[in-house]
Amino acid sequence: RRELGRPPDSIRWQAEMRYRGQRHSLTVDFEGAPAGPYSGEPGLDFSGLDVIDYTGISGSKAGSSGADGSFTITANGEDFDLDGISLRSVGAYAYVQAAAYDDGAQVGSTWLVAYGSQASTSTFGTTFDDIDQVVFSIYGSGEFYVDDILTFL
């Protein structure tokens, strides 16, 4: 069903549904985003992530954690579900921790493996549902790339 005369996959439609209290899925794939610091999508804020031209995961763009190897996603004080993410390491491989928070308390974490030779896709269980922040950080130091971040707002 179309609401407000827009297709359901448009960012504006998603923002309007969130404003009206209706939850929806949102895939962040960076396509169409300008290169440079990435601030996010309606309902999601990103810090520490840059958009780069990169075809090693899917599409023609990806997010880069930068040299410090970390970035954060928040939901403007609201809760969201983190359902999946695709990763790729700059080097041979990297371990990346995803730590979930709700109201300032850590409610879960998991380790993901990012490979340099191919993209790896990780999915998250219910521990990453109804959270208001997730922090991704590499073990040690170094950069990793992300794409296709699946959320439910």
Q: What is the pTM of this model?
A: 0.84
Three-state secondary structure of 70-128: EEEEECCCCCEEEEEEEEEECCCEEEEEEEEEECCEEEEEEEEEEECCCCEEEECCHHH
pLDDT of residue 17: 52
Residue-level pLDDT at 24: 83
Whether the CB-CB separation of 132 and 80 falls below 8 Å is answered with yes
Question: What SS3 class is residue 5?
Answer: coil
If the chain, 153 residues long, is cut into consecutive pieces of 10 residues, what is the mean pLDDT of each piece? 44 52 86 94 93 95 95 92 96 95 96 95 96 96 94 91
